[in-house]
Chain A
Amino acid sequence: QQQVKQSPQSLIVQKGGISIINCAYENTAFDYFPWYQQFPGKGPALLIAIRPDVSEKKEGRFTISFNKSAKQFSLHIMDSQPGDSATYFCAASRDGSARQLTFGSGTQLTVLP
C-alpha cells in the first residue's frame, strides 16, 4: 500500500514538446505529493508539490495534475528544453514523516535539441 508506481521509466521528447510523467498510488492516507528533479551527479531538487485538495498546480512550465478519485497524479513539462533532461521522481508522503515518504522509481527524461 506504500508503493508509488511511476511511468514511463524513460522518455524522449523533442525540444518544444510536452513531457508527461505519471504516478499512481494506493494509500489514500497520503497527504502530500512532491516532485523532485535530479541532474546527473547532483542531489534531488524539489520541483513542485501538491496537496490532494487541489486538482492542479502550475509553476512556470511545470504543472502537476492530481486526480484524487483515480489516485493518480502527473507532471507535465510544457515547451520542454534540453536543460530539462534529468531524472524525475514523484513521491507521496503521509503525516510529514520521512519514514512515510515513498518515492516512485524515477523517469529519465531526455529532451532532444
Chain B
Amino acid sequence: DTEVTQTPKHLVMGMTNKKSLKCEQHMGHRAMYWYKQKAKKPPELMFVYSYEKLSINESVPSRFSPECPNSSLLNLHLHALQPEDSALYLCASSRREGFSGNTIYFGEGSWLTVV
C-alpha cells in the first residue's frame, strides 16, 4: 500500500483568504514533502519534513506555511496567495529522507486556483 491521501482535491480561494491543504499517510514513512506542479512541468520541491521536523525549505515565500502535527499528517497553510500560485500541490512521502534509493510516493494532489 503506497497511498498518500490529500484533501481537498480542488480549492478556489481569494487573495485575502486563509485556507489549508491536508495530507495523510499510514505507511509508517518518516519523511513527508510538499511539491508544486505547474501544467506540463515536473514537480518542484517546496518543503521536506524528516521525523516531523522541517529539514528543507526551498526558499518558499512565507505565504506558504507548512506544519507536521505528527508522523502521519502534513498540512500546508495558505495565506494572501497570488494568482501565480495557482497550481497542483502535491504531498508525498518516503520511508526515510537521505538514504540511497529513497523512493518518493506522491498523492493525487490538490488543485489550487487563486482568484
- Chain A interface residues (CB < 8 Å from chain B): 31-32, 34, 36, 41-46, 49, 51, 87, 89, 91, 93, 95-99, 101, 103-106, 108
Contacts and interface: CB of A to CB of B under 8 A. Distances in A.
Given A44-B43, A103-B43, A95 B103 contact: no
B48 A46 contact: no
A46 B90 contact: no
B52 interface: no
B88 to A, nearest CB: 8
A29 to B, nearest CB: 11
Interface string B85-102: 000101010101111111
Interface of B: 2, 4, 6, 31, 33, 40-43, 45, 48, 56, 58, 88, 90, 92, 94, 96-109, 111
B107 A97 contact: no
A103 B58 contact: no
Contacts of B56: 98-99
Ranked 4 nearest A-B pairs via Cβ: A96-B102, A103-B42, A43-B106, A96-B99
A93 B43 CA distance: 14
